[in-house]
Amino acid sequence: MNAPDFPPLHLPAIEPIADASLEARLRHKIAHKTKPLGALGRLEGLALQLGLIQRGESIALREPQMVVFAADHGIAAEGVSAYPQAVTVQMVGNMLAGGAAINVFARQHGFALRVVDAGVAADLAPHPQLLRRKIAQGTRNSRIEAAMTAAQMQAALRAGMDIVSKLPGNVIAFGEMGIANTSAAALLFARLAGVSIEDATGRGTGLDDAQLAHKRKVLADVMARHAGATRPLDALAALGGFEIAMMAGAMLQAASERRAVLVDGFIAGAAALVTRSLAPAAQDYMVFCHRSDEQGHRLLLAHLKAQPLLDLGLRLGEGTGALLAWPLLQSAAGFLNEMASFDTAGVSGREDA
């Protein structure tokens, strides 16, 4: 039986970044810098993308934002994680105290950091860096029933849009925290990309072989229970997490405002997949920052035809990989804006140019 239709959801309009005239001017500018053609490799493509996003021949990176969405998952009750669910609220506390890896990197790189309670299974005390947008105290167990109701899923999407609409800057990075969220990400990837649950599912927080086999069995049961949830919003409600849904809404809003979106690892990648499924042009604004050590992430990037900037064997989440890639965006902007051309430097170009 197919899942019921959801009430209409208004999604923000997103313009593709394609602009043939501007692209030609940017390529000409990049090609005539004082270097051999293509010598800055992937940095040249990144500069081109950022220029097209910002609709100009120079790049200005202003007030970068880091938003970490935190939520719990009912499927954690099935023993799919090496850590207890209590770690979610404990790690949120660590982030608000400034002690997590994402705090270190946000301070290092000058990102304003906010943590969003999208659905942590505990009541959190007020904090200046905490945005309380809790949908519920964790999703339901998707092995038994849909993780979210249609109303909850839509509320999460809208909350993500609203959060971004109130933030300054033109660059935004997204991270997450939530025990068992690699399970939700694997389920969404398998359903929306049509890959097997065995290929989509990895070790998460460090499962051994027996635990990984159990996780895959649980997720196969979930896929069978929700076999009718094939459309993006149906799949998001049946299989996803509050933080993934809220991040997808945030990505949609960011793209609609022509912000560069820094995509972290597997969980953020699953949100990016949902986002692209709802609005294909949104991927134009996404910078895929790294390839994580989670098995499904490598396949997800291949499915999206995305080339990540880094491959450091990370599997932490929180948005850490996105911030580690930040200096590459700064370098892309710097060479486009400041590097001399052959003409201005009085340097001879190629004889066959």
- SS3 state at 288: strand
| Percentage of residues in the chain having pLDDT higher than 70 | 96
261 vs 284: CA distance, rounded Å: 9
Cβ neighbors of 145 (< 8 A, separation 6 or more) are: none
pLDDT digit string (tens) for 196-243? 999 999 998 889 999 999 999 999 999 999 999 999 999 999 999 999
Average pLDDT over residues 289-296: 95
Average pLDDT over residues 172-195: 98
In sequence order, what DSSP letters do the residues of 33-85 get, joined into one string? BSS-TTTTTHHHHHHHHHHHHHTSSS----S-EEEEEEE--GGGGGS-SSS-T
Q: For residue range 62-107, what is the model confidence (pLDDT) as tens digits?
A: 999 999 999 999 999 999 999 999 999 999 999 999 999 999 999 9
Q: Is a pLDDT exceeding 70 seen at residue 5?
A: no
Strands (E), the chain: 65-71, 112-119, 130-132, 171-177, 260-263, 286-288
Indicate whether 9 pLDDT > 90.
no
Q: What residue has token string 């850590």?
A: 83
- Angle between helices 295-304 and 181-193 in degrees, nearest 10: 40
**From 44, 78, 243, 318, the catalytic residue:** 318
Question: What percentage of the chain's residues is helix, strand, coil (to nearest 5)?
Answer: 50, 10, 40
Question: pLDDT tens digits for 294-342?
Answer: 999 999 999 999 999 999 999 999 999 999 999 999 999 999 999 999 8
Predicted pLDDT of residue 280: 98
CA distance 254 to 171: 9
How far apart, in whole angstroms, are the C-alpha atoms of residue 241 and residue 142?
10
Residue with tokens 């989440």: 317
23 is catalytic: no
Q: What angle do CA 163, 233, 247 make, to 5 degrees?
A: 25
Look up residue 284 and give its DSSP letter: G
